[in-house]
Amino acid sequence: MSRHPLLRACTTVLALLVSAAPVAAHAGSVGLASRGAPVPSWSVIAAGAAAVGASFLFTSLLTDRQFVERVPRRGWSLPPVAPIFVGVVRWTAVAAVPLVIVAGVIGPDEPVANLLTLVVWIAWWAGYTMTTYVVGNTWPALNPWRTVAPLFPVEPRSLPRRVGSWPSVAGLLALVALEVLSPVTGDPRLLAAAVVGYSLVTVAGAAAFGDAWFDRVDPVARMFALYGRFAPIRRTDAGLHIGLPGAGLARDSTVYDPDDVAFVVALVWVTTFDGLVATAAWERLTDATAAVGVPASAVTLSGLLGGFGCFLGCYWLAARWVRRTAPTYVTTRYLAGWFAPALVPIAAGYHFAHFVGYLTGFAPTIAAVAVDPVSPPASLPVLSPPGWFGALVLLAIIVGHVVAVWVAHARAFDLFAGRVQPIRSQYPFAGVAVCYTTVSLWIVAQPIATGIS
Amino acid sequence: MSLQSHPPETTLSDDGTTAAVCPYCDRPFVTERQRALHVGERHNATEAERRAYEAARDAESDELFRLHLKVIFAVGLLYAASIVGGVVAFSLPG
Ligand SMILES: [Zn+2]
């Protein structure tokens, strides 16, 4: 039908315009909800799920192969960063780690007045992580543990190939279990111990196994590397490159192995889970189970692992189902690995949604505490985010899912020939995406039980 | 241009259906049409393969048209559902 170039261009523009519309309309309705209008949260959730479904439908109208392949390739190359600058930043980071740990140990007990707690959870876990997907992954250059590890004269050995990147999956789940189960978020001394422990393990591992440690074991470096593939600024063989967000994922030529797929799924799940355990609903659940004698930590741990297993299973089933809907002889394992990069924008969107409020709220607190970490002023400035932040939060989740739909669309056009088969291959994943948006928005719409401390 | 340097891993279905196989990269396809489209897009097709590709593309266009009609119908349904949902949501008490 769309054989005429002009007609084709019109269809494309129209499809692009309309696919942006539901998102904007959705943000409006959320704005109402956050101002306390009588819109029940289920309608917000339904609208969000509908926005993701609609974006899949509109994306399926984009069948101009050349257009689909050309868009992610737009971009420019950037001049390299001066090595002296990188050196200064890198060693500043190395010096900052012990200073912040000491500040945490001798500083006040309240987490909101303690520099270590603020730097780890707000500046780094919330703020720095955001820069890895909004700007680019600077962690390989900045990582202080990577900088000091080669200074230790240890006989280098190679990490066994058969362990793959499973250690990083276990590491990520362990890190999040530590965060939600132990009082590490509220106890600066415990946090200092955890940072020292992480430093010892990381430096020892990196000294023994070299860069393989950061590629396959260290969950933090792997997480930033994945977010960096989404970011507009990316490192390529030809130097730094700036392009559209998500384009790096659409153009990623690697097929993820099952261990890498598990890591991506774990990343999406832990970001969601971080939000889930903070809700009042989760608190009610753990209270209810505690009443019948099941400790809250057991419920939380099984929620973390069970949710991860459930999500990984759903993703794998969706990949298997693609063989039927496309239809195709490509293996389930290959399909799961081929489409896994599309999950990264979902994780980024959810991370942004979860932390943008904390970051803006506590940014002035960090500045005030950093001036005098030992005895900070008694009344610390904390911003309360404006009402439209609620809309921003939901918008971030939906944009994440919409970019994910687009990345999967581009990858489907690369894997399959023609125009019908790539679209058919996306039915199962679109179903999973709509379900996951529903869950994510339900969590975000829940009242929060506790704050950062 | 494709991102993949090798054809993807494939397994045939259990019922032992004979597949159409690409003569250039040995990738199996469920239908003859899929193979014709693949050869036309990814390889230097011969004259006969070029004609098969054009025919497959025409046949696919008809299917794509029906698919897009369904999509437009689904979008309309979704739009109607969200309006009804919105009206119900705003008229609920509390
Ligand atoms: Zn071929």
Question: A49-76 pLDDT, tens per residue?
Answer: 888 888 888 888 888 888 887 878 788 8
- Residue A201 backbone dihedrals phi, psi, to 5 degrees: -60, -45
pLDDT of residue A398: 82
By the 8 A CB rule, do A151 and A402 touch?
no
Specify the pLDDT at position B18.
66
Rounded CA separation A165/A212 (Å): 9
CB atoms within 10 A of CB A224: 24
Contacting residues for A353 by C-beta, under 8 A, at least 6 apart: A275, A393, A394, A396, A397, A400, A440, A444
The answer, yes or no, to whether residue A129 has pLDDT greater than 90, is: yes
Average pLDDT over residues A251-269: 93
The rounded Å distance from CA A152 to ligand 1 centre is 50
**Dihedrals phi, psi of A75, to nearest 5 degrees:** 155, 175
pLDDT computed for residue A218 by the predictor: 96
Q: Do B92 and A58 touch (CB under 8 A)?
A: no
Is the CB of A43 less than 8 angstroms away from the CB of B85? yes
**So what's the pLDDT on residue B91?**
75
Record: contact B42-A417, CB cut-off 8 A:
yes
Residue A394's pLDDT band (boundaries 50, 70, 90)? confident
Q: How far apart are CA A329 and CA B27, in angstroms?
A: 9
Reduced DSSP (H G I as helix, E B as strand, rest coil) percent helix, strand, coil of chain B, to 5: 60, 5, 35
Higher per-residue pLDDT: A75 or A32:
A75
B71 in reach of chain A (CB within 8 A): yes
CA distance A17 to chain B (A): 14
- Quick one: closest CA in B to A72, which residue? B3
Q: Find the CB nearest B63 among A54, A338, A420.
A: A420
Residue A450 lies in a domain: no
What 8-state DSSP symbol labels residue A263?
A: H
CA–CA gap between residue A41 and residue A310 (Å, rounded): 25
A423 vs B67: CB contact, 8 Å cut-off?
Answer: yes
Which of A37-51, A335-349, A425-439 is predicted with the least confidence, judged by mean pLDDT?
A: A37-51
What is the spatial distance between Cα A289 and Cα B45, in angstroms, rounded to a whole number? 66
Residue pair B87/A51 in contact by the 8 Å Cβ criterion:
no
Helical spans, DSSP H, in A292-340: 296-325, 332-339
Q: Which band of pLDDT confidence, cut at 50, 70 and 90, is reported for residue A8?
A: very low
Q: Which pLDDT score, from 0 to 100, does residue A201 have?
A: 95
Residue A140 CA to residue A3 CA, distance in Å, equals 47
Range of the domain at A429: 5-444
Asked if residue A103 belongs to a domain, the reply is yes
Q: How far is CA A91 from CA A79, A147, A188, A204, in A?
A: 22, 8, 24, 19
Mean pLDDT of A149-166: 88
Q: Which residue of A255, A334, A414 is in closest CB contact with B2? A: A414
Nearest Cβ partner of B9 from A53, A326, A334? Answer: A334
pLDDT in tens, A315-360: 999 999 999 999 999 999 999 999 999 999 999 998 998 888 889 9
Strand intervals (E) in chain B: 20-21, 28-29
Residue numbers in A near B93 (CB within 8 A): 38
- Are A206 and A145 in contact by the 8 Å Cβ rule? The answer is yes
Asked whether residue A143 is domain-assigned, the answer is yes
Q: What percent of chain A has pLDDT over 90?
A: 50
Give me chain B's average pLDDT, please. Answer: 84
| pLDDT for A136 beyond 90 | yes
The larger pLDDT score, comparing residue A216 to residue A383, is at A216
Q: A55-64, A112-121, B20-29 — which is least confidently predicted?
A: A55-64
Q: How is residue A86 written in tokens?
A: 């990188």
Helix (H) / strand (E) element for A76: namely: strand A75-77
Chain B residues near residue A47 by CB distance under 8 angstroms: 82, 85-86
Q: Is A65 a domain residue?
A: yes
User: What is the per-residue pLDDT for A316?
Assistant: 96
Residue A453 forms part of a structural domain: no
Rounded CA-CA distance A114/A376 in Å is 8
Q: Looking at the predicted structure, is the pLDDT value of residue A3 above 70? A: no
Is residue B67 a contact partner of residue B76, using CB atoms and an 8 Å limit? no
User: What share of residues in chain A are helix, strand, coil (percent, to 5)?
Assistant: 75, 5, 25
Query: Is residue A93 a contact partner of residue A147, using CB atoms and an 8 Å limit?
Result: yes
Contact: B10, A330; criterion CB under 8 Å: yes
CB contact under 8 A, A54 and B75: yes
- Residue A78, φ and ψ in degrees, nearest 5: -110, 155
What is d(CA A50, CA A422) in angstroms, rounded to the nearest whole number? 22
Domain count for chain A: 1
CA distances, A439 to each of A23, A31, A352 (Å): 18, 20, 16
Q: Are A372 and A320 in contact (CB under 8 A)?
A: no
Task: Answer whether residue A451 is part of any domain.
Answer: no
pLDDT band at A372 (very low <50, low <70, confident <90, very high): confident
pLDDT recorded at residue A444: 75
Please give the pLDDT value at position B1.
53
Highest-scoring range by mean pLDDT, A11-25, A172-186, A260-274, A380-394: A260-274
| Interchain contact, B64 vs A328, CB within 8 Å | no
Q: Once rounded to an integer, what is the mean pLDDT over residues A164-171?
A: 95
Q: How confident is the model at residue B93 (pLDDT cuts 50, 70, 90)?
A: low
Over residues A247-273, mean pLDDT: 93
Chain A residues in contact with chain B using a Cβ-Cβ cutoff of 8 Å: 1, 3, 29, 38-40, 43, 46-47, 50, 53-54, 57-58, 60-61, 63, 65, 69, 251-253, 255, 326-331, 333-334, 338, 414-421, 423
For A77, phi and psi rounded to 5 degrees?
A: -90, 150
pTM of the model: 0.87
Instruction: For residues A221-231, give the mean pLDDT.
Output: 95
> Are the beta carbons of A43 and B81 separated by less than 8 Å?
no
* ipTM attached to this prediction: 0.87
pLDDT score of A376 = 84
A60 lies in a domain?
yes
Q: Please answer whether residues A333 and A399 qualify as being in contact, where contact means their C-beta atoms are separated by less than 8 angstroms.
A: no
Compute the distance between CA of residue A412 and CA of residue B3 in angstroms, rounded to an integer. 11
CA distance linking residue A223 with residue A267, whole number of Å: 7
> Would you give the DSSP letter of residue B8?
P
Residue B33 has pLDDT above 50, yes or no: yes
Distance B26 CA to ligand 1 centre (A): 6
- The answer to whether B12 contacts chain A (CB < 8 Å) is yes
Query: Three-class SS of residue A239?
Result: strand
Question: What value does the mean pLDDT take over residues B70-83?
Answer: 82
Residue A452 lies inside a defined structural domain of this protein: no
Closest-CA distance of chain A to residue B34, Å? 7
- Work out the average pLDDT over A398-417: 91
- Looking at residues B43-69, what average pLDDT do you find? 92
**CA A431 – ligand 1 centroid, Å:** 30
